[in-house]
């Protein structure tokens, strides 16, 4: 593995990772409608994107869904993780363990189809949910994102110093107070990470949303997919470039904050 082979393999790997993204960004500034033939520099696709009501509307739907389901998933995932790490035995412990880890390996097509069938049966027998749209997408995303939050919260709850909780209990705090004053502040960074992961997972999901959404509610991936299916289109390149820009800025800010935090820690 020494010598020329390893650097060459690594260089190839990074070209593989970045070349498609770089070409995507470059061709978003292309004047020509043909995505892969250079026709001069232009920002016209960004203008068209900003006038595209369908894409802007779908982006708003996606943000609402992602915000709501990340928040709900963080609450449910944290409760699940707390129950599994702090309550040693209760009826249904095995069932809860299974239900909280299974969504991680469940193919999206199965999760989507089975949830849709549940919603349809519930509508017939209970009358709720009447039709499908934002609420059903939020429920579906909450369910699969909660599993990811639970994994993160569980590892943090396991590694934290439980004597802190014991000390608070010995000093007379009730379980609710111990949770809100000791446990929650300690695991808060992990929960922020979990919320962010759930938010991105929800923003990224196409398959589950396609199954459980109704005619009125299309998320951004659903709109992108229906456009992209017909072939490449330059305004999608522009959209991708904007998203990549957002991610880069977020990473730079996060890196700067972390560095500052570390310096203050010293």
For the bound state, the minimum distance from the C-beta of residue 120 to other proteins, rounded and expressed in Å, comes to: 5
Residue 35 sits at the vertex; the CA angle it makes with 30 and 36, to the nearest 5 degrees, is: 95
- Tell me the closest approach of the beta carbon of residue 198 to other proteins, in angstroms: 14
Instruction: Considering the complex, state which of residue 216 and residue 255 has its C-beta at the smaller distance from other proteins.
Output: 255
Q: To the nearest 10°, the Cα dihedral for 92, 191, 143, 211?
A: -160
Map 219-260 to HEC letters: CHHHHHHHHHCCCCCHHHHHHHHHHHHHHHHHHHHHHHHHHH
- How far is Cα of residue 105 from the mean position of the Cα atoms in its chain? 16
The CB-of-262 to other proteins minimum distance in angstroms stands at 12
CB of 260 to other proteins, least distance (A): 16
Q: How far is the CB of 163 from other proteins (least distance, A)?
A: 18
Nearer to other proteins, 2 or 53 (CB): 2
For other proteins, which is the closer residue by CB, 64 or 200? 200
57 vs 244 by CB, closer to other proteins: 244
Tell me which long-range contacts 178-184 makes (C-beta under 8 A, separation of at least 24): 179/82, 183/82, 183/157
**Is the CB of 180 or the CB of 256 nearer to other proteins?**
180
Instruction: Give the Cβ contact number of residue 235 at 10 Å.
Output: 20
Cβ pair 25, 41 in contact under 8 A: no
Cβ at position 237, least distance to other proteins in Å? 8
Burial 122-150 (b: 16+ CB within 10 A, else e): eeeeeeebeebbbbbbbbbbbbbbbbbbb
Q: Cβ closer to other proteins: 37 or 50? A: 37
Least distance to other proteins from the beta carbon of 161, Å?
18
- Residue 56 or residue 118: which is nearer to other proteins going by CB? 118
């Amino acid at each position: 593995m020494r010598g020329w082979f390893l650097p060459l393999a690594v260089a190839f790997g990074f070209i593989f990772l970045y070349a498609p993204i770089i070409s995507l960004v470059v061709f978003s500034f292309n004047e020509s409608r043909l995505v892969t033939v250079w026709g001069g520099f232009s920002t016209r696709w960004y203008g068209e994107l900003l006038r595209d009501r369908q894409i802007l509307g779908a982006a708003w739907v996606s943000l609402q869904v992602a915000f709501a389901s990340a928040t709900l998933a963080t609450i449910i995932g944290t409760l699940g993780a707390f129950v599994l790490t702090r309550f040693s035995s209760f009826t249904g412990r095995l069932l809860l363990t299974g239900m909280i880890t299974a969504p991680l390996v469940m193919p999206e097509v199965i999760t989507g189809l089975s949830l849709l069938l549940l919603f349809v049966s519930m509508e017939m027998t209970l009358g709720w949910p009447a039709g499908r749209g934002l609420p059903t997408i939020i429920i579906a995303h909450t369910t699969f994102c909660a599993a990811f939050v639970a994994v993160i919260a569980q590892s943090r709850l396991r590694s934290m110093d439980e004597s802190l909780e014991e000390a608070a209990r010995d000093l007379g705090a009730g379980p609710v107070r111990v949770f809100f004053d000791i446990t929650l502040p300690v695991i808060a960074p992990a929960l922020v990470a979990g919320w962010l992961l759930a938010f991105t997972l929800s923003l990224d999901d196409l398959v589950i949303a396609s199954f459980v959404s109704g005619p009125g509610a299309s998320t951004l991936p659903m709109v992108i997919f229906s456009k992209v299916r017909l072939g490449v289109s330059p305004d999608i390149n522009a959209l991708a470039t904007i998203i990549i820009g957002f991610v880069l800025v977020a990473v730079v800010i996060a890196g700067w904050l972390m560095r500052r935090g570390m310096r203050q820690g010293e």
